[in-house]
Amino acid sequence: MNIGDAAAASGLPAKTIRYYEEIGLIRPLRDTNGYRAFRDADVHKLAFLARARRLGFSIEDCRALLGLYEDESRASEDVKRLAQAHLAEIDGRIAELQSLRGTLSDLVSACAGDKRPDCPILNRLASGEGADQGADSAAVRSA
Amino acid sequence: MNIGDAAAASGLPAKTIRYYEEIGLIRPLRDTNGYRAFRDADVHKLAFLARARRLGFSIEDCRALLGLYEDESRASEDVKRLAQAHLAEIDGRIAELQSLRGTLSDLVSACAGDKRPDCPILNRLASGEGADQGADSAAVRSA
DNA sequence: CTTGACCTTCCAGTCATGGGAACCCCCATG
DNA sequence: CATGGGGGTTCCCATGACTGGAAGGTCAAG
């Protein structure tokens, strides 16, 4: 199975599959012509990775999950711990975004949105008055 | 005013201020020794940028906001449009995260988290089956 | 004179890809 | 047999918005 078929079967772009090989997530064989040769197990792993990524797990989390998946003697608590940590991170990001959303939507409703120059949004950015002293938005930006 | 003082006054790291100059957001003067010389207006702009970034606006949004801020003949509708677009983007991200959160929290509650290897989280990642099983997820999501 | 705190520029790295160049391989058709 | 097209390969560059660090210039104090 060539990379194109593996991409179609797993739902991942070929580029991404090459990258996953580069960082050691998968190890497809090679044909004599140098083409990657994907076995069913490889495609299975790729689909696993695609689903884990879609759930928002980082590449390193995916690596750990794949390791646990392949370890017959794993403990489900290890998987659960990983998932719970990820869940907590998502909760944190949601909270940050909701805090931003609150501030921003207040500002938007305070702004007339007409042809005149007076604007509470700009006033707030210029003065910082009435600021939410909350969220460092780094995690938000990284989302 | 040197960059260190401008950093302290604006709350932005010196590195970030240099970066903002590099991409043309600010244009501090230079002393004869080559040091950047920040006027009050520069520091004011930096603080404006810091606040806009904290609200999650992209650099390009910030550039536009700064332009509007400096344009005495702006229309507040232009500012509002920008802010509304950003708000919509935030709403989209929140919705995405909440959807992830729902799935993930279902999986986490389905996992025993003990010493045994059987794990619904891994099963789901391996097979992709069982997208929305687990009737009780509403209470979890509302948490 | 030296120390140390500043400042400068430039280069590399982050994360998870995506784009594209330059080139190789294989099969089908004229 | 040449050729065309649709695979594949490696390699480098770009993203956003910084951050870290090296190598070196500047300045006030001891």
The confidence band for B62, taking pLDDT boundaries of 50, 70 and 90, is very high
Q: How far apart are CA B122 and CA A80, in angstroms?
A: 10
Question: Is residue B81 packed enough to be buried (19+ CB in 10 Å), middle (13-18) or exposed (0-12)?
Answer: middle
How does pLDDT run across B64-114, given as a tens digit for each residue?
Answer: 999 999 999 999 999 999 999 999 999 999 999 999 999 999 999 999 999
Nearest amino-acid residue to D26, taking CA and C1': B33
Contact call for residues B127 and A89 (beta carbons, < 8 A): no
pLDDT at position B131: 57
How many residues belong to chain B?
143
User: DSSP character for A130?
Assistant: T
- Mean confidence (pLDDT) of chain A: 92
Percentage of chain A with pLDDT > 70?
90
pLDDT at position B129: 83
Q: How far apart are CA A123 and CA B74, in angstroms?
A: 13
Q: Detail the protein residues whose CB sits closer than 7 A to any atom belonging to strand C.
A: A 13, 15-16, 19, 32-34, 53, 58-60; B 2-5, 14, 18, 34-36
Predicted structure pTM score: 0.89
pLDDT at position B128: 80
The H or E element containing residue B36 is: strand B36-37
- Decide if pLDDT at A98 tops 90: yes
pLDDT at position B138: 28
Angstrom CA distances, B42 to A95, B28, B46, B47, B66, stand at 33, 7, 6, 9, 12
Question: Is residue B27 packed enough to be buried (19+ CB in 10 Å), middle (13-18) or exposed (0-12)?
Answer: exposed
Q: How far apart are CA B142 and CA B71, in angstroms?
A: 44
List bases in chain D with any atom under 7 Å of a protein Cβ: 7-10, 16-20, 25-27
How does pLDDT run across B34-49, given as a tens digit for each residue?
Answer: 999 999 999 999 999 9
pLDDT at position A135: 46
Give the pair of three-digit tokens for residue A42: 């490889």
Report CA(A6)–C1'(C21) in Å, whole number.
24
List bases in chain C with any atom under 7 Å of a protein Cβ: 6-9, 15-19, 25-26
- Mean confidence (pLDDT) of chain B: 90
Minimum-distance nucleotide, CA of B34 to C1': C8
Best mutation target among B43, B51, B97 (most A Cβ atoms within 10 Å) is B97
